[in-house]
Structure 1
Amino acid sequence: MGWIVRLPFFVILMGLGAIAMIVPATHAAVMEDFMTMRVFFYGFILFSILTLMIGLATAGYEPRSVARSQLVALLAAFSALPIMFAIPFHAAVGNTTFLNAWFEMVSSFTTTGATVYDTAGRLTPSQHLWRGLVGWLGGLLVWVTAVSIFAPMNLGGFEVRATGNAGKGAAGRFSQIAHIADPSERLVRYTLTLTPIYVGLTGLLWIGLVIAGEFPYIALVHAMSTLSTSGISPIGGLYFAASRFWGEVLIFCFFVFALSRLTFSRGLIGERDQGLRRDPEFITALVLIGTVTSALFLRHFIGAADGVEPANLQESAAALWGALFTVTSFLTTTGFESHFWDGAAEWSGLTTPGLFLIGMALIGGGVATTAGGVKLLRIYALYRHGEREQERLLHPSSIGGGGKDARRIRKQGAYISWVFFMLFALSIAAVMLMLSLTGVQFETSMVLAVSALSTTGPLAAVAAETPIAYSGIPDAAKVILAFAMVLGRLETLAIIALFNPEIWQR
């Protein structure tokens, strides 16, 4: 075990990726899809040997800063590992380009879920399983690295409540993470702690979906997609799912793990032991979900009331559930659309504005979760700062209460949140500009930019006036979107931290 810990982080990830290829190979053997089985088994052998060779060559490597090395390795993982994942996938699919296969793997590993294979029958079940597994592994990587790498460096949203600056060493409430062990030992410790939780929750949802009537392999992919918030589905979403309403209820219950890190890592990050009732992220999520769901339901209800036929209770309940599920799904950046979402539009005769879903995806889920977007904690910090500024307009000499933590969030936390929000907005503008240069229309480029940077791939099929097919955009646009997905997954501050001279002087 000790020699594995001493290997570079990227080499360890390569080895785990190679071992993961056994899963689709085994599934293909059971399904008698022997061509896919051979491709993934040969991929396992090839990349296992390659990992062994690189591991032997780098066994004695000792970086000056392990934390910096892990941050660089994380950037390399989301950029380079999809190439390794795409090689057997491209060979198994056959009638596709390597660019499309690489785009698919980048989308899966960054938990975006954008797919260029629009028809469900284009890929075999084992190939769909590989997409879901890659997304699931990407979600697990986000869970582990958020606590072991981002938290000690005050990145990934932790900078809002920390006393130190973003990209620097931890201080204050996160100092025990930084000083309890070296970064390699932290990475191993939190991997061993969080992996059983992640696997157990996925297995629990999988069993629940099978009991609800879903086909086992479809239930497994949907379970992995829910926990990783990738939104990957072998049947094009939940509309054709056999589990229908009860399956959506189960998935809805597991969305909570993308809204607050306290649901799975309580006490691990050195924060004060507080429950969900006092968690600002979870409370903010409830307010947003309740407000947007009520607005959408009232819009459809008023539209149905103006019709010739009066609205009945069943249609009203279906419209309410469809709005509640879909809004929560896009807030967590999963992107699953409820089976009853289209029924609400048919009930009222009004189309649902995609701007609501774009806004929810931009906000995103909780810090240190698999969700993307700006993150709820940053939105909460901006809200508290705005609330305090309004109080000062009415009472200029007033003193804000709430204790030291609340004052820090309203000042330093709001400042860094606003900086990140502006960087996020500039990133959207830059990606839109580059997409426009490839010939993509303005509205399409806006939706695609938001979906990539917020890691909400299914947004393209729902938010625009007409569904956008990733297979129909130019190859240059796919490359731009792939790098935008990596940027959205790692966040701009983490990449900017790599250019900080102080991090290279350690």
Structure 2
Amino acid sequence: MSNGPIVGERRLPFEATSYRLDAGPVLYIVGFLLILFAIAMLVPMTADLVTGNSDWIAFAMSALFTLFIGGALAITCYQPRIVLTLRQTFVLTTASWFGIAAVSALPFFFSDLDLNIAESYFEAMSGLTTTGGTTIVGLDGAPAGILLWRSLLQWLGGVGIIVMGIAILPFLKIGGMQLFHSESSDRSDKVVPSISGLALNIGILYLALTAACFALLRFWGMGAFDAINHAMTSVSTAGFSTKDASIGYWSDPGIQWTITLFMLAGALPFVRYVSFMRGDYRSLWRDAQVRHFLIFVLLVWGGMALWLEAQGQYPLWEALRHAAFSTTSMITTTGFATEDYALWGSACYLVFYTLMFVGGCTGSTTGGIKFLRFDIMWLALKNQLVRLYSPHQVRRWEYNDRAVSNDVVLSVVTFFFVFVGFYLVFSVILGMLGLDFITAITGAATALANVGLGMGDFIGPAGNFASLPDSAKWVLAFAMLMGRLEFFTVLVLLTPGFWKK
């Protein structure tokens, strides 16, 4: 009998001998999550009540419906002790994201924004997956409740992504995540011994980072409502803003540097923060992916700043600020914008297109391929080169002073292959739906990598996804979920053998 995750325990037995899917535990947990989101809807409802906006009715109706569905599932499927099989864990991971996105779309659909079903679901999925692409035009005059709900979805989705990346995906051995499990959950790392304790510590830390970001944004002069929204969407590396011009609405350098700092903070593995807070002060820098990620970011900052200054775009210090903000927003898959980088020249355009795929560290709120996988692929490349000139040499593959098995390398290479494959497939599908070449290839990239910011006249820094056909919005929403769940979680459900003995 192998081990696997559960809620509230360090591990949950995976019953490999069970061939029939018992949906009870899955539906109970989904129902419990729906109840939590019904309660969360009361926050934007209160904001609309305070500001005198009639959209509070939309949130009230959505909350009641969600509470009814969630309560019915939780009551009828209640079990005193939840034991998840491997099969149930895969189903739960996908079903919960689909279900939560569906009920989260209700306030958008019932609001006065006049969004249709496709636009509402796109907006909800973009929020929960921390993608950041939007179909709403006129954010500056949008109701306070809707703006707060968008930010809250991204904030809740961000912490959910961290917990999923630490507590579930490593056990499912998806894309090399099992290596992250051995790093983050080993008792020798002096992290808390149980997953429930780790999740609690991460939640507290996540809240503290959000509060710190809010305080600094207020210090630099941002209004309280805008500050709380951007604090939530910066730490979650999500990218929803309260303004059509995004962060470009505020010209204060302090605001832009603050958001840059917290985008970087959200891109680092949260389990390392926990180790740091518990006295292991070298935990962050000792992690190879953190070192390589930060070095890469600094090199990109410097290179882009020197290029902008040499091209006469800005003075050096201003060029560094714009380069740091824009490249960090793209690398961390946040999607904030201060400037239209399309105006910086074709070279910068290609750099930003490349950065869309990078992502932050494993165990963070970011999307993309992530640095852990790049490190493993680089390690595989080095070892393959050694084998060419020294075929009889026996080498032990190590990462962070731990052995790397062939299973991990195969998992990473397979993930990369699947990522590229789905990128090509979604690009072709979007092109068939009538999107131009630039919009199709960057739209697929921004959805799969959960960036939220594409290129071109429609979905670039100066546009949004509102003008795209509804069919494209449905495709992009599904692509966001595929990218966020690391592909295999969804793909395995489409495999006939998964449902057979």
Which deviates the most, 134-143 or 149-158?
149-158
Q: Paired residue for 1:112?
A: 131
Equivalent residue in structure 2 for 1:264, among 264, 270, 273: 273
Q: CA offsets per residue over residues 50-76 of structure 1, 9 Å max, x none?
A: 322222111149776355434322211
After superposition, what is the alpha-carbon deviation per residue over 1:328-362, rounded to whole angstroms, capped at 9, x for unaligned? 2211111222x4x55x998xx74563221222221
CA shift in 2, pair 1:133/1:283, >3 Å: same
Task: Answer with 89-98 or 389-398: which moved more.
Answer: 389-398
Q: Deviations over 1:132-172 (max 9, x none)?
A: 1111111111112222212233336423466xxxxxxxx89
Which residue of 2 is the match for residue 200 of structure 1?
208
**CA distance in 2: counterparts of 1:392 and 1:273, whole angstroms:** 38
Q: Percent identical across equivalent pairs?
A: 24
Aligned equivalents of 1:400, 1:11: Cα separation in 2: 50
**In structure 2, distance between residues paired with 1:420 and 1:484:** 15
Aligned partners of 2:435, 2:498: CA distance in 1, in Å? 39
- 1:48: which partner in 2? 67
2:171 is aligned with 1:152: yes
Query: How many angstroms apart in 2 are the aligned matches of 1:63 and 1:262?
Result: 25
What does residue 17 of structure 2 align with? none
List per-residue Cα deviations over 1:246-287 (Å, max 9, x = no partner).
12222222222313334434399xxx9962222121122123
Partner of 1:24: 44
Q: Aligned partners of 1:396, 1:291: CA distance in 2, in Å? A: 35
Where structure 2 has 5 or more consecutive residues not aligned to the other structure, the ranges are 1-6, 10-24
Q: Which runs of 5+ in 1 are unaligned?
A: 163-170, 305-310
Q: Is the aligned partner of 1:282 residue 2:277?
A: no
One of 488, 493, 496 as aligned partner of 2:483: 488
The one-letter code matched in structure 1 to 2:426 is V
For residues 304 and 131 of structure 2, the distance between their equivalents in structure 1, rounded to whole angstroms, comes to: 25
Aligned to 1:216: 224
Are 1:141 and 2:136 counterparts?
no
Per the TM alignment, residue 437 of structure 1 is displaced from its structure 2 partner at its CA by 1.7
Q: TM (normalized to structure 2)? A: 0.84
| SS of structure 2 residue aligned to 1:266 | helix
Whole-Å separation in 2 of the counterparts to 1:155 and 1:352: 34
1:168 match: none
User: Contact conserved, 2:62 with 2:107, CA < 8 A, in 1?
Assistant: yes
In the alignment, residue 29 of structure 1 is paired with which amino acid? L
Asked if the contact 2:101/2:124 (under 8 Å) is kept, the reply is: yes
Q: Which residue is 2:14 aligned to?
A: none
Q: 1:335 to 1:469 in 2, by over 3 A?
A: closer
Trace 1:91-490 onto structure 2 (pairs within 5 A).
Answer: 91-121=110-140, 123-155=142-174, 157-160=176-179, 188-236=196-244, 237-241=246-250, 244-254=252-262, 255-266=264-275, 275-304=283-312, 315-337=315-337, 339=338, 341=339, 350=345, 353-393=348-388, 395-396=390-391, 398-400=393-395, 408-409=403-404, 411-460=406-455, 469-490=464-485
- Count of matched residue pairs: 474
Deviation at 1:36, TM superposition (A): 1.5
Cα distance change of structure 1 residues 245 and 498 upon mapping to structure 2, 3 Å threshold = same
Q: Distance in 1 between matches of 2:284 and 2:195?
A: 26
Secondary structure of the equivalent of 2:275? coil
Whole-Å separation in 2 of the counterparts to 1:335 and 1:410: 35
**Normalising by the residue count of structure 1, what TM-score does the alignment of the two structures yield?**
0.83
Q: Which moved more, 1:130-139 or 1:117-126?
A: 117-126
Contact 1:257 1:263 in 2 (8 A): no
Rounded Cα–Cα distance in structure 2 between residues aligned with 1:345 and 1:480: 25
Match of 1:10 among 16, 22, 30: 30
Displacement of 1:44 in angstroms is 2.2
The alpha carbon displacement at 1:8 in A equals 2.1
